[in-house]
Amino acid sequence: MTRPRLLVVDDHQLLRAAVVDLLVQAGFEVAGEAADGADAVALAKELDPDVVLMDLRMPVLGGLDATRLIKDACPDIQVVLLTAFESPALQQQAQEAGCFAYLVKGCPPGDLRLTLHEAMAWRRSLLPPAGSPSVEA
């Protein structure tokens, strides 16, 4: 099985680098990085990652709006929100936007890896089996 492909999106450069280093160490493939929601949407369409690890509050375009656009364009890409904000209303909004999970920064790192694996497994369960004929309209 191929390694899970991720897109990591966070405007905090130090945090984004630490997350990327950890996930690479943990065996994930980080296909791309973005520092705002607009870049995230463009890269998601271009790179087709299994999972987008998305910050909430970012310049240009926030994480929730970016998630909606990604889910509209590529419904099978899973988005995991990783934010410092803990709010029941935001969790609800994240769910409505199509997020797979809502994680709070400072959660045990093991939870992050486990959630990403679950999101990846869910995404791959949605895809047609490898080698199956493609259907053109």
Q: Which stretch binds another protein (CB under 8 A): 71-79, 80-88, 94-102, 121-129?
A: 80-88
Using the 8-state DSSP alphabet, how is residue 100 labeled?
S
Neighbour-count burial of 63, counting CB atoms closer than 10 A to its CB (0-12 exposed, 13-18 middle, 19+ buried): buried
Site membership for another protein, residue 87 (CB under 8 A): yes
Query: Would you say 2 or 25 has its CB closer to another protein?
Result: 25
Are 50 and 28 spatial neighbours (Cβ–Cβ below 8 Å)?
A: no
Binds another protein by CB under 8 A, chosen from 1, 2, 106, 134: 106
Are 78 and 122 spatial neighbours (Cβ–Cβ below 8 Å)?
A: yes
Q: Which two tokens stand for residue 22?
A: 């950890």
Binds another protein by CB under 8 A, chosen from 35, 60, 104, 121: 104
Q: What's the min distance (Å) between Cβ of 83 and another protein?
A: 10
Give the number of other CB atoms < 10 A from CB of residue 73: 11
Distance of alpha carbon 103 from alpha carbon 131, whole angstroms: 35
Site membership for another protein, residue 1 (CB under 8 A): no
**Total site size for another protein, rule CB under 8 A:** 24
Are 98 and 44 spatial neighbours (Cβ–Cβ below 8 Å)?
A: no
Site membership for another protein, residue 21 (CB under 8 A): yes
Site membership for another protein, residue 109 (CB under 8 A): yes
Binding stretches for another protein (CB under 8 A):
12, 14-15, 17-19, 21-22, 25-26, 84-90, 104-110
